[in-house]
Amino acid sequence: MSTRSRQRGGGGFVGAVKADVQRLHGAWMELVFPRQRGRGHSVMGKWKPETLPQTIGYHTWSILGLFGLLLLYPLTVVGLATRFYAAKLDSTRTRLGIVGVTGTALLGWGLLTLAWGAMSYMEQVDIPLNSVLAVAAASGVATLSTALAAACTKKGGRAVTVVFAYPLAMTALFLPPVVAALVTPSLHPYILEPSYEFAAWALDNVLTVGGVNEFLRSNYQLEGAAYAAMWLGISIPLGWFLGIVVALANLVRPSE
């Protein structure tokens, strides 16, 4: 057993990283060349170039893949971490079922809405009825998003999970606090002001390509419902990103 481990590059952290990199590079090579990944013990063996043009193309593609690993492997690590926590949530979803998950979300957000309404009714804090209704609507969105995310995870395949489940989960996470902050001035310093600072940073440092930042500044004002729209717009691509890096992690370590 120890001899086999040494032949494979050793165990521990270094061995795991080496195995991950080999799988990623093998997957990259198989985009163009046959039998490159996990074929070391197959009957046909790993494909190797036989002619000079094949050799040049093979090694050129291999070198390009090494540069790609500088980007892909950190994303794989993010995917492994995301998959770990997603698996914890999925085990909870499995135990409770879709109805149980929906009921839990409904209970939690429903209690929050009732508490908001009770404080407004007893006039302990200055919360208008419209604000209570706004929180109730956000709670409904969160509950619906949670239910749909659980359903997509259970009933759909990997593509459905990436395209729908992860964005819905991010929506359920981001949208209700923002809506609550919109109708509660005391929450502005904790949610809206950091959101404004984040938007300014993104416009100055991320959305500079193609004049996107200038277009957004000229046509939109970050106030009121625009905060909710901003976080909704963030939650969808963020969900796709997390779903894709988890799929990448599954490619590298499918057995975990």
Please state the length of the chain.
256
> Whose CA is closest to 239, among 82, 36, 35?
82
- Can you read off the two tokens belonging to residue 192? 């809206």
Q: What is the dihedral of CA 144, 150, 227, 213, to 10 degrees?
A: -140
pLDDT score at 172: 79
- Can you read off the two tokens belonging to residue 44? 């046909």
pTM of the model: 0.66
> Whose CA is closest to 237, among 178, 138, 163, 143?
163
Instruction: Report how many helices (DSSP H) and strands (DSSP E) the chain contains, helices first.
Output: 9, 0
Q: How far apart are CA 132 and CA 80, in angstroms?
A: 39
Domain boundaries, the chain: 90-252
pLDDT score at 129: 60
pLDDT score at 8: 46
Q: How far apart are CA 101 and CA 98, in angstroms?
A: 5
> Whose CA is closest to 98, among 170, 152, 42, 18?
152
pLDDT score at 103: 65
Q: How far apart are CA 72 and CA 56, in angstroms?
A: 24
pLDDT score at 91: 61
Give, in degrees to the nearest 5, the angle at Cα 95 between 89 and 96.
90
**Which stretches of the chain score pLDDT less than 70?**
1-13, 37-45, 88-135, 153-157, 255-256
62's CB contacts (< 8 A; 6+ apart) are: 25, 29
Beta-carbon count within 10 A of 44 CB:
8
48-67 burial: b if 16+ Cβ within 10 Å, else e: eeeeeeeeeebeeeeeebee
